Structure formats: C-alpha cells, structure tokens
Amino acid sequence: MDLTSVKEGERCKVLKIEGGYGVIKKLERMGIRPDVEILKLSSQFAKGPVVIQVGNTQVAIGFGMAKKIIVEKID
Amino acid sequence: MKKILLIGNPNVGKSVIFSRLTGVNVIVSNYPGTTVEFTKGYAKIDNEIFEIIDTPGTYSLIPTSDAEEIALKLLKRGDVIINVVDATNLERNLNLTLQLLKQDKPLIVALNLFDETKHLGIEIDVRKLEEILGIPVVPTVAITGEGIKELTERLKEAKTKTYDYNEEERWQKVGEIVKEVQKITHRHHTFLENLADATIKPVTGIPIALIILCLTFYITRFIGENLIQYFLEPLYSNFYAPNIIKFIKSLNINWLEKILLSQKPEAMKGFGVLTTGVYIPFVGVLPYIFSFYLVLSLLEDIGYIPRLAVLLDIFLHKIGLHGYGTVPIILGLGCKVPAMVSTRILETKREKIIATILIILIAPCMPQSAMIISLLSKYGVKYIGITFCVIAFVGILSGYFLNKILKGETPELFAEIPPLRVIKINILFKKLWMRLRSFIYEAVPLIIFGIFIVNICEISGLVNILSKTLGPITVKILGLPSKIIPVIVFGFLRKDVSIALLSPYNLTPEELVVSSVFLTLYLPCISTFFVILKEQGLKDTFKILIFVFSIALSISSLLNLII
C-alpha cells in the first residue's frame, strides 16, 4: 500500500519510491528512502498533504508524492 | 582575508551561530527558509580577522531551489567550513556532512541544538563521532552561546577528506555512524509535542488555526490602537505639535513655514513635513508595525507558520501555490519587501510569478492597513470590511485565474515541519527591534519625502496642472475627485503615505473605499518594485506590473459603479 492509505498514528516501513529520479532524490535528502521506518502523523481532507515523522524530523508531503511512497505496516 | 562558511540543513541555527560569531544581527526564526540570502560579517579569532558567511540551508549538495543554489555557489568560495548540524536529527544532517567531507575544504562540525537532545532522550557520544569522522565535533547551544568559544578555538583543527566512502553507500554509512554514536531512550510526549500534533490534524488543527488568526488580528489591533490612543497621540498633540509649531513660527520665515507646517498645521489636514510628515509614520503607522511584528515574530519563533502551511495547502493549490506559499503571503501582510525576497523558497518560476502577484493583490501591507483603518474607522467597521474583503477577493480570484491560464503545474508541498519551540524573549525582541529599525531607517525618510513632494505640488500649483491633464481619467473611471491626482502619481513612493494623504481631501467614505482599494493594488511601492525587479527580472516584472495595474483599474472602476 502507499502512504496515503496508512492511518494516523501508524508506523510503517518504506519499501520503495515509485517515482522518477527527481522524486527519489528529493525524498532521500530528507531521509525518506527504502528500509526507513516512518510514523504517519496526520492527513488532511480532500487529498491534502500527509505529515510523517522520520527520525526526529516531521515532514509534510503533498498527496500525489505520498501516493508514490510504497510502505508496509509494522506492529 | 580567509572566509569561513556556515553550511548546514535548513532550520538548524546557522544564523544564530553567525550572530554569535560576528555580533551582526540577522533575522532568525523557527522555520526552514528564513535565510534566503547570504550575510557577511567579521570575527576576530586567534588574532586573525575572518570573514564569516551565513548561507541559506541546504539538505544536500544537489540544489533544488534558488536559496540552496546560493549556498552551493558560496561553498566554492569558502576557505573553512563550519558545518552546523542539528543534533536532534543526526542521520539526515550527517548525510550532508559526509558530502561536505568530499569537498576540498577544511571542515569542522558544530553539533547545535545539543540541549534539545536531552529532552528528547537522545544521547550522542561526541568523542566517538569525532573519531569516526576525523574532524572536530563541538556541541553547541547557539541560542545561549554555549560551545561557541570552543568552536572558534578548535577552528584551526578543521580538516577535510578524513572519511572516505563509496558514493552509493553514503546512506548506509550514515546509518552505521548513527548506530554507533547515538542512543535513544523512550520517553513520553511533552505538552508541546502533543500540541504540535494537534495543530496538523484537521479536526483539531482547523479550530486552532482559526483561534490563532482571530487572536492575531485582535491583539494586533488592541496593542496598536491603545498605543496610539493612550501614548503616541497624546504625546504628539500635547507635547510635540504645540512646541514645534511655536518654534517654526517664531523663526518667521514664510516659505519654510509653508513647507514644514503647511497652511493647515493640524496633523493629517495639511502636508507639513514636520506635522503630517511626522504624524503619519510615528503616530499612525509605527504602533501597528510594532504590534503586527510582535505577533508575527511570536508565531515564527514558536514554529507555527509551517503548520498553517500544511492546513492551507489544499486551498493554496487552487490559487496556484502549494502550502509553503503561506510564508511569503503572511510576510506580505507586514511589508512586501521581505515577502518578495522570500519567494525564493518556492521552486518554479510559475509559482514565483503567482506568489509575487498574490503578495501585491491579496492584502495591503501593515502601514497601508493601519492607514485604511484609521481613515475609515470614523465611518464604521462596514467600510473597513468592504475594503479588505474586496482586496482579498481580488487576490484570490487573480490567483485562481492565473492558475488556470499559466502553463505548468503547481509542485507539491514537500517541507520540513519544525517542532514547536519555547520562545526566547531576547531573540524575539532583537528581531522585533530589527524590523522596527528597518521601518524607521528605510521607510520613514521616504514617507517624509513623499509628503514633501506632494506639499511642493500643492504650493507650486503643479497639482492643478496634473489634475487638469489626468483628472478626466480618475473622475470618469474611478469616480474620484481630480484633486487627489498627485497622491496617485506619487503614491508609489510610499503607498502607506498615499492612503494617509487622502485625509486632507475630505472624501466621502465611498470615495475613500474606492481610492484605498485602487491605491493598495495599482502598483507596488518603489522599494518593493526594485526587489521584484531583482528577483524576477525585467521582462517578468513588466508583465506582472501590467497585470496588476489592469486588475486594479478594472476592480476599482467596477467598485465605483457598485458602491
């Protein structure tokens, strides 16, 4: 599944980024890359941005970009 | 002279360290993108004078925005690099450190925000980190000055190329280092963290945003009004005005009296340089500048603005920007000049053009707002409401329209959201003072000069000539009396003055609304104009201004027909 379908407060692991070189590099700079654990903090109404925590950083990610982040839930 | 560069991720405190080293004050806030230009200063270290350069934050050595590009260009010119690292985000920050270590520049790490690691349950083995990297690593708390002395003492130990790795394995190496030097112990959420989470969830975040916005307006007006009513107005009319009028009159030089006091020495009735010219900036505008920037600085330092950006993202996408466009637009409520500079945090040319237009069209700057409020308040809140609503509506509609017609798409929001932080009163007031100072030094002389020019036009009879030639246009299209022509002509010098200068003309409230809307929108003030020119180039500036002027003219004439 992708990041937009994760519920608020759930932890997940990034499996891959389904996007071009630009998106991959952009996310990577902020520490979002395969095998990294992230925590979804919030999502907005009507396809608004998703906020996640990676390490100790909170990052807001637009809905379309969040769709490209493929994750799996961890307990 | 050797150059020392401060380089690091956004919002790690580079500018605070810069201020500590050089004694030069720069605006610091708690959100990424406060510094979009470089600032130079000097510091004496070990009896040698160094040039210190503060740079915009960057996440990696491959730039994705103008601000980052500036940082990377500067990198080539530095002799020594102080890599400022956020100790609470070691992994992401070390990614840049490892990249910097491959550059041929001596490097030293300032492990900043070190005090926050303790609250967060993070333990860093600084010695070990130093050993692995092979360069000095100095824990610092820039905001209190802790560690800054050690940083300068160890500057001479800065080294480069001490840590070799394969480019593809960079993240893996970062991971290994972090694993070795950092220990995290579990701890409970603090109040601020819970509050921070609540601000970005729609159910709690939207009510919080509404409360904060209402409070912002209420507090800004409350402080501004009371400062005027109980302090500055009495000071002006009981002390300053009688004495200055008595003094000038005692000189008995007729022409000087005309210029300095004008025929009507009462403030806001004539164009006296020492009467109205002093009253507008110091009694009319300064209190609002003070109160607005007090509230804005508070929100900036707490770190609330990026959170507002998350909530507003969907809405801003409709008018061609993403959520981070909130930053320039909010800055524009204070003064358009820093707002225009901050458009650099936006990625594409399309966004920058839309943001520039929206900054001009969506709301007046604080001095203009103060003047609109003070001129219209005697006719009731209704007219103030109409003026601001029309302006906001014009801005939003233009954004919507531009978003439809300009080619290209709005990039998606992708931004770091800083933690909410407890404000430091001394930093807050330093910033407030810097903003007030720039108003006093840069804006006040122009205000006074503008009044002088209009006064000269009055005295010399130039007003009549201007009114006759340009008069029919204003009368026919805007329904405004032709005598306000000089105000329109010279209004671009300082737009706040232009609105204030309407006061002596006894306009009806409807005429005031139309002219306030027109004067707010028709052109940016001269200082803003030059910044737009610098940021967007001649061709785009020209296009932007034509667009803005046509919108202003059509909306104002429409308004004249309706109201």
For the segment B228-257, what is each residue's pLDDT rounded down to a tens digit?
Answer: 889 998 999 999 988 988 888 888 888 888
Is B95 within 8 Å of chain A by CB?
yes
**Complex ipTM:** 0.91
Of the listed ranges A32-41, B359-368, B527-536, the least confidently predicted one is B527-536
Q: What's the confidence (pLDDT) of residue B230?
A: 93
User: A14 forms bridges with which residues in the sheet?
Assistant: A71
Least Cα distance to B432 among B288, B293, B283 occurs for B293
How many whole angstroms separate alpha carbon B158 and alpha carbon B108?
5
How many whole angstroms separate alpha carbon B499 and alpha carbon B16?
38
- What number of C-beta contacts closer than 8 Å exist between A and B? 98
For the segment B476-492, what is each residue's pLDDT rounded down to a tens digit?
Answer: 777 777 777 777 776 76
Nearest-Cα distance to chain B for A55, in Å, is: 7
Is B481 within 8 Å of chain A by CB?
no
- Does the model's pTM come out above 0.90? no
For chain A, state the CA radius of gyration: 11
Q: What's the confidence (pLDDT) of residue B266?
A: 79
Between B526-562 and B381-405, two packed helices, what is the crossing angle to 10 degrees? 110
* Banded model confidence at residue A59, pLDDT cuts 50, 70, 90: very high
Chain A residues at the B interface, defined by Cβ less than 8 Å, are 8, 25-31, 33, 41-42, 44-49, 51, 54-65
For chain A, the first-to-last Cα distance in angstroms comes to 15
* Banded model confidence at residue B493, pLDDT cuts 50, 70, 90: low
Amino acid code (one letter) for B414: F
Mean per-residue pLDDT for B17-32? Answer: 80
